[in-house]
Amino acid sequence: MEKINRHDMVKKIVDNLLEALFDTVMEELENGNMINFQNYFSIKPELRKPKKARNVVTGEDMIIPERYQFKVKAGLLLKQACDCFNDKSKSDNDI
């Protein structure tokens, strides 16, 4: 009988958990639903209006059709982490 390494077992459980989480997130976003990881971030599909553009190679005018894009908004904890990083960067530059 093969001995099971605890680290490998935990890694496999975490891998399976993350795969299930991301599969669920993708499914919800594909259905047009918003995802909210409280205090961390939120993701929601947002309809972008059609807009005029220009092909930079040919100079030809074109219309980019309306489409959905994801809007990601940072939550409180990510904002605080960024503020801590900014404060640290400022103090490092002051030296």
Model pLDDT, residue 11 = 93
Below-70 pLDDT ranges, the chain: 1-3, 89, 92-95
pLDDT in tens, 52-63: 999 999 999 999
Q: What percent of the chain has pLDDT over 90?
A: 74
- What is the C-alpha to C-alpha distance for residues 18 and 29, in angstroms, rounded to an integer? 16
CB count within 10 Å of CB 79 equals: 14
What's the pTM value of the predicted model, to 2 decimals?
A: 0.63
Residue type, 1: M
pLDDT of residue 2: 63
